[in-house]
Amino acid sequence: MTQIEINPGQLTNAARGLDQFVVPDLADAARRMADSYRLDPPGLGALLSFAEGYYNSVADYQLRNLETAVQVVESVAAGLRRTVANYHAAEQANVDMFLTPAADDPDGYLGGLGDAGFPRLFTDPLGGLDGLGDGAAEVLTVATQSMFVGLGVATAAMAPDYLPAPVTAAAMVANGFSVIEAARELGAVAATLEGSVIKKFDGYATGATAGWVDGSVVEYRDVVAEVSRELGQVQKALGALSASLLAVAGLLTAFWLAFIAFTAEFFVVILDLTLSSIGPQALVLQPIIQALGAAASASWLTATGTVITVATAAVTLLSGVVKEFAAVQTFDEQGDGTPDLRQIPIAWHSA
């Protein structure tokens, strides 16, 4: 039988540090993310709901990873205590806790799509209204967009060929303040993981190896390295989620500022031409009005398509297919929908 060789105090202190400092910080990070990543209705709008669904599925997967990380670190601490117990019993350093207990499974894309802001207006109207009512700025923003959509419809009443523009814009009404707030919160969680939590985990977990010369320390170091690597991937993914939301918010803001400025002026122009077309001038001015409406509509449909294309690209890059984006590595490495952290065996054995 191989005699275990450790410094019991180092392992005990490491386990205490993991339980008292790392676990609570991870639990708080998971709570903050759970409370903030969903976008209040109408989210990114009807036309971008499919992209928001993908964003939700990625965010939900990483949330499950964070929640699992709490159990993983608890298991590492428990394994250290068992190693100390084995030492006092003059036994081998056999710790085999297998996989971390299961947390909730990620919802996947369909769950993420159903959790998007626009569908929740219909599937959970009371919850959606409550969410929208959380801030006066959110209500004012959505109301302002809706008001100018209405002005666009009024313009289309005089120039029917313009109607596709306000109808499409209505499907682009988004909760910009909620998007920015979610981005800030995700960025803050990512910064906390990078600047504090991961460093604490590495510090306490590595500290246990001082004086540990039993062969099991090699396997223990592998476990610690794998957990640290996965936490780093979660941090980078959350940073990418935050950056993607900010990019989409910038696109939507630019679109709406331009649409609002154009709609007010265009309404006045069309109204003036319509009033002037009363009488004999109608034969000359009405074709001009309709031509202006058609041209403006085509222009805004093109602008809408550009926003959708760019916003979709920004969000779908989160898949990790383009690994250079924010240095994100492919998440869900096993490809089975199970958080990677749950699949790390917490085990080390004497050689």
Q: Would you kindly state where each structural domain of the chain is located, as residue ranges? A: 7-98+135-342
320, 329 Cβ separation under 8 angstroms: yes
The overall average pLDDT reported for the chain is 86
Q: Which pLDDT does position 293 carry in this prediction?
A: 96
pLDDT at 325 over 50: no
pLDDT in tens, 237-287: 899 899 999 999 999 999 999 999 999 999 999 999 999 988 878 888 899
Is the link from the previous residue into 345 a cis peptide, with omega within 30 of 0? no
pLDDT at 154 over 60: yes
| Residues 171-205 pLDDT 10s | 999 999 999 999 999 999 999 999 999 999 999 99
> Residues 59, 241: contact at Cβ < 8 Å?
yes
The average pLDDT across 27-47 equals 95
CA distances to 152, 165, 285 from 265, in Å: 11, 15, 18
DSSP 122-151: HHSHHHHHHHHTT-HHHHHHHHHHHHHHHH
Q: Are 348 and 95 in contact (CB under 8 A)?
A: yes
Closest CA to 63 of 108, 30, 109, 111: 30
Question: How many residues appear in the chain?
Answer: 351
pLDDT per residue as tens digits for the range 287-301: 999 999 999 999 999
Which pLDDT score, from 0 to 100, does residue 123 have?
Answer: 73
Q: What was the pLDDT predicted at 338?
A: 67
Identify the CA nearest to 159 among candidates 281, 291, 284, 279.
291
